[in-house]
Structure 1
Amino acid sequence: MFEFKVHHQDGRARVARLATPHGTVTTPMFMPVGTQGTVKGISPQELLDIGSQMILGNTYHLMLRPGEELVAAHGGLPGFTAYPGPFLTDSGGFQVMSLGHLRKINEEGVIFKSHLDGSLVDLTPERSIEVQQALGADVIMAFDECPPFPAERDYITRSLERTVRWLERCLTFKSRDDQALFAIVQGGIHPDLRQLSLDLTLPFNTPGFAIGGLAVGESKAEMYPAVEFTTARLPEDKPRYLMGVGHPEDLVAGIALGVDMFDCVYPTRTGRFGYALTDDGRLNLNSSAPRRDLRPIDEDCDCYACRHYTRAYLAHLVRAGELLAPRMLSLHNLRYLHRLVERMRSVIAAGEFIGWARSWGARYFGGELPQWFAAALGASAAQRGLVGTRSPQHM
């Protein structure tokens, strides 16, 4: 039911196929976030039209509203949302971390106050898996504790050890064979703690592994050495998922280091605030410059907004507060990220990824590459020097 096979590799970057009960997806890929069972403002058909392959659902929010029983009555998230493809659900751990003073963590799990009505909710590893099984996603996540940034080393150590104990409870409780449970590697930005988490987590040999505990407040210069360290030590025959990360530069750097899966609210949230993603950086449609610009957002983009509307019209919609503006900008931004990974899959298969990534970065950053970005490409290039581009028969 679940099969992951790498077909092309250029340095650390790779192209693979992941088979799931609701369809086979090609990685690397970006997953739009459907927190409440919908990607804000975008219909399921539009998601399919722009190239979405897998949607992320949120265990915490769907558990509280409308409740997993109602979703299960629809046959799970595909029936509930009318999106026919694969889903991934997070465990609720990140949302619990974000509650701060509204939650209390102990060995059993987490007790927190609902952000909806203040009622007390008890979320344990078993309860997280119970909800995710009812939601019916193809890929589900182990319940973890995601430490904030900054956090004391002792706290991160205790947290990652607890996360491993929770993983064991999740695997013991899980009963559905048609769902792949991914373990989550923690450890913050500390290499030795990342190694400890890897040592404790890898023996469980789950169908995939997520890189957690990052993009929680640290700088990219602090985050990417941790990504590089972790991906280099994860199994080559399992998918690698960098949780909650999805800026364009993050996709390029992460893919350079061997990440296969990404998710983030960034493209739709950015669209709702009047920004469009391009290879030249973010286009601010709130500013004066686009107001008389008769070009599309991106002349190379095939999304509905770029095929039908000018920058001037979209800037007018933004200023007028029209609902079409956030819809079209969100649609474009999602399509931009899908096109970005499509381009990367193509150049990886051709053995041209490093050169392409450097050229893309020079344009996107307007000149010199940030050190963290250049280092990610350098690490991939070093690996390429060792193994070259590998074809399927060598994987």
Structure 2
Amino acid sequence: MSEGPFFSFSISVTDGSARIGTIRMRRGEIRTPAFMPVGTAATVKAMKPADVRATGADIILGNTYHLMLRPGAERVAALGGLHGFMGWERPILTDSGGYQVMSLSELSKVSEEGVAFASHLDGSQHMLTPERSMEIQSLLGSDIVMAFDQLVKTTESRDAQVVAMERSMRWAARSRESYQSGGALFGIQQGGLDEGLRQASADALTAIGFDGYAVGGLAVGEGQAAMFACLDFAARQLPADKPRYLMGVGKPDDIVGAVMRGIDMFDCVLPTRSGRTGQAFTWDGPINIRNAKFADDPEPLDSESPVAGWSKAYLHHLVRSSEILGAMLMTEHNLWFYQRLMQGLRAAIGERRLADFAAAFSERYCARGDKAG
């Protein structure tokens, strides 16, 4: 067991590289493997906090970059912190802003000090450093804070990967040194798809010492096979007694494969974004509810779904009509599906039958579905 001021992690069952664990924090326990719905701008889009919790979520994610720009970290702090501001009483993890730095690279300039960037909202100039990232996440009242890092795409040259990884490790040390909050601080492993760079990153992070460790720099276009090949070594390079978090992942079959490789925590906008655009996740694969074949379908998406009281035909009508209720119901179903998947994974690990669960899931999920959608 590893412990911090308001943080502990214990593993109860293992099945191969997979494990069931519990993160205990001041605001509640997190069952792992865990999926964290994304609440980028202090809201899980189209969902009320109580409804997010009802799907089975133990923790959600907020975004440092977006919240620092709007409404502003100091304003959130004055209004009671992120938990009180948005009405979510359980743990919140905030990312450090590194991903947005990469995705909005045309607006930013990276130096050893940090990242200077222009706001995508109004063009105003800002500077995000490890120290400022820690300050913002503290003002937000985050329970799990992510160290500030530099993310580059896996398609970048090895030289670029080396520069970004080594700078990220220096920034990780600065994040650790300036971190003042009472929650937990996670370091982020970088190094692209290179095993040696990943090991060097893991060694540097372990020497600094963190409450948990994230695998960063994946799910940025390298494909599932390359991601799994990287996780085969990247996960085991990180301390076995600390939570391992795969950032920005992902599709249901990505999550199953990553759990089998020892990952404990996940986040992704996919279930909420897909819900707003008409895609529903089912055990038989994703479907596009906009498709005409659902116009007369009287069956629900799933008989156990919280939206089982409405037919696919009704959901088809709502989404095709751009009704707000369509986005709400589809999002609620997708978040429920993701949490039900995590529940199934935890149960399978607990009974040491994860390989059978994964094979059955893959055969059904990947072989069927509405492939046109």
Q: Secondary structure at the match of 1:318?
A: helix
**Which amino acid in 2 is paired with 1:13?**
A
Q: Which residue of 2 aligns with 1:341?
A: 342
CA–CA distance in structure 2, aligned partners of residues 333 and 215 of structure 1: 20
Q: Once the 2 structures are TM-superposed, how far is the Cα of residue 334 of structure 1 from its aligned partner? A: 0.5
Q: Structure 1 residue aligned with 2:200, among 196, 208, 213?
A: 196
Decide whether the 8 Å contact of 1:110 with 1:123 is kept in 2.
Answer: yes
Q: Percent identity?
A: 46
Q: CA deviation at 1:204?
A: 1.6
Q: 1:64 aligns with which of 58, 62, 69?
A: 69
Matched, 1:98 2:103: yes
Contact 1:4-1:238 at 8 Å conserved across structures: yes
Q: Distance in 1 between matches of 2:266 and 2:81?
A: 22
Partner deviation per Cα, 1:18-39 (whole Å, 9 max, x = no partner): 0112111110010000000000
> In 2, distance between residues paired with 1:149 and 1:203?
25
Q: Does the 8 A contact of 1:30 with 1:246 survive in 2? A: no
1:324 equivalent in structure 2 = 325
1:227 has 2:231 as partner: yes
2:213 alignment counterpart: 209
The answer on 1:10 being equivalent to 2:15 is yes
Distance, in Å, in 2 between the alignment partners of 1:329 and 1:251 is 20
SS at match of 1:16: strand
> d(CA) in 1 for partners of 2:358 and 2:40?
31
Aligned to 1:282: 286
Asked if structure 1 preserves the Cα contact closer than 8 Å seen for 2:74 and 2:139, the reply is yes
CA offset digits 1:78-97 (Å, max 9, x no partner): 11110110000000010011
CA contact (8 A) 1:138 1:180 kept: yes
State the one-letter code of the partner of 1:151: E
Asked whether the equivalents of residues 22 and 85 of structure 1 are also in contact (C-alpha less than 8 Å), the reply is yes
Distance between the aligned counterparts of 1:137 and 1:361, measured in 2? 35
Matched, 1:254 2:258: yes
The 3-state SS of whatever aligns with 2:204 is helix
Work out whether 1:267 is the aligned partner of 2:276.
no
Q: Distance in 1 between matches of 2:294 and 2:18?
A: 36
CA distance in structure 2 between the aligned counterparts of 1:270 and 1:309, rounded to whole angstroms: 18
How far did 1:199 drift? 2.1
Unaligned runs of 5+ in 2: 1-5, 369-373
Give the TM-score normalised by the residue count of structure 2: 0.96
Deviation beyond 2 Å, 4+ runs, structure 1: none
Q: Secondary structure at the match of 2:272?
A: helix
Number of matched pairs: 363
Q: 1:110 aligns with which of 106, 115, 140?
A: 115
- Cα distance in 2 for residues equivalent to 1:54 and 1:103: 30
User: 1:183 corresponds to which residue?
Assistant: 187
1:191 positional shift = 1.3
> Does the alignment pair 1:361 with 2:356?
no
- Cα distance in structure 2, aligned partners of 1:53 and 1:96: 28
- Root-mean-square deviation (CA), in Å? 1.0
Distance 1:64 1:319 in 2: 33
Q: Deviations over 1:319-366 (max 9, x none)?
A: 111111111101100000000000111111111111111011111111
Q: 2:154·2:193 contact (CA, 8 Å) conserved in 1?
A: no
Residue 161 of structure 1: aligned partner: 166
Give the whole-Å Cα distance in 2 for the aligned partners of 1:25 and 1:201.
Answer: 23
**Alpha-carbon separation, structure 1, partners of 2:153 and 2:117:** 16
Structure 1, gaps ≥5 residues long: 368-395
In the other structure, the counterpart of 2:54 is: 49
Q: State the alpha-carbon separation in 2 of the partners of residues 78 and 243 from structure 1.
A: 22
